[in-house]
Amino acid sequence: MSENNIEKRLIGIVTPVGALRSADSAGCGEFLDLIEFAKLCANMNVGLLQLLPVNDTGYESSPYFALTAFALNPIYIKLSALSEAEGFSGQIEELRKNFESCSRFPYEKVARAKLSILHDIFNAKKPEIERSAELKNWIEATPWIKAYAVFRRLKEANDLKHWRDWKAFNKITKREIEALWNDSAASKENLFWAWVQFKLDAQFSKAAAEIAKLGIILEGDIPILMNEDSADVWAHPEYFNNDFSAGAPPDMYSPAGQNWGFPIYNWPAHEEDNFSWWKMRLSVAEKYFSAYRIDHVLGFFRIWASSRINNTALLGRLIPSAPIKEAELRELGYDDGRIRWIKFPHIPTGELYEAVRACGGNDDDARAAFDAALERIGSEELWLFKNEIKGEKDICALNLHDSAKNYLCAIWNNRMLQEIERGLFSVVWKFRDSRAWNSFSNEEKAAFEEFIAKKNVESEKKWESDGKKLLGVLKDASKMLPCAEDLGAVPGCVPRVLAKLKIPGLKVIRWARDWWAQGQPYIPLWDYNELSVCTPAVHDSSTLREWWEREADRYAFAAFIGTPNLPDSYNPGVARVVLKAVASAASRFRVFQIQDLLHLTPRWYAADPASERINVPGTVGDFNWTYRLPAAIAEIAADEELKTAVRELAAVAPCAKPKKNQRR
Q: Walk me through the domains of the chain, giving residue ranges and CATH numbers.
A: 10-235 (3.20.20.80), 317-454 (no CATH), 504-650 (no CATH)
The pLDDT assigned to 527 comes to 96
For residues 27-50, one letter each, b for 16 or more C-beta atoms within 10 angstroms of the residue's C-beta and e for the rest, the string is bbbbbbbbbbbbbbbbebebbbbb
Calculate the average pLDDT of the chain: 96
Q: Which residues contact 32 (CB under 8 A, 6 or more apart)?
A: 78, 81, 203, 206, 207
Residues of the chain with pLDDT under 50: 1-2, 664
For residues 222 and 294, is the Cβ–Cβ distance under 8 A?
yes
The pLDDT assigned to 4 comes to 59
Q: Give residue 519's region: left, alpha or beta (phi > 0; psi -120 to 50).
A: left
Q: Side-chain half-sphere of 518: how many Cα atoms within 13 Å?
A: 0
The β-bridge partners of 292 are: 220, 482
The pLDDT assigned to 66 comes to 97
For residues 288 and 205, is the Cβ–Cβ distance under 8 A?
yes
The pLDDT assigned to 1 comes to 40
For residues 382 and 411, is the Cβ–Cβ distance under 8 A?
no
Nearest 5°: CA angle at 416, between 410 and 421?
100
Strands of the sheet containing 417-421, edge to edge, are: 324-325, 424-427, 417-421
Cα separation of 328 and 344, whole Å?
A: 18
Number of neighbours of residue 398 by Cβ within 10 angstroms: 16
> Residue 157 burial by CB count (10 A; 0-12/13-18/19+): exposed, middle or buried?
middle
Helix axes 89-100, 107-124, angle to 10 degrees: 180
> Residue 167 burial by CB count (10 A; 0-12/13-18/19+): exposed, middle or buried?
exposed
The pLDDT assigned to 252 comes to 81
Number of neighbours of residue 258 by Cβ within 10 angstroms: 21
The pLDDT assigned to 664 comes to 47
Number of neighbours of residue 389 by Cβ within 10 angstroms: 20
Helix axes 493-501, 442-477, angle to 10 degrees: 20
The β-bridge partners of 72 are: 55
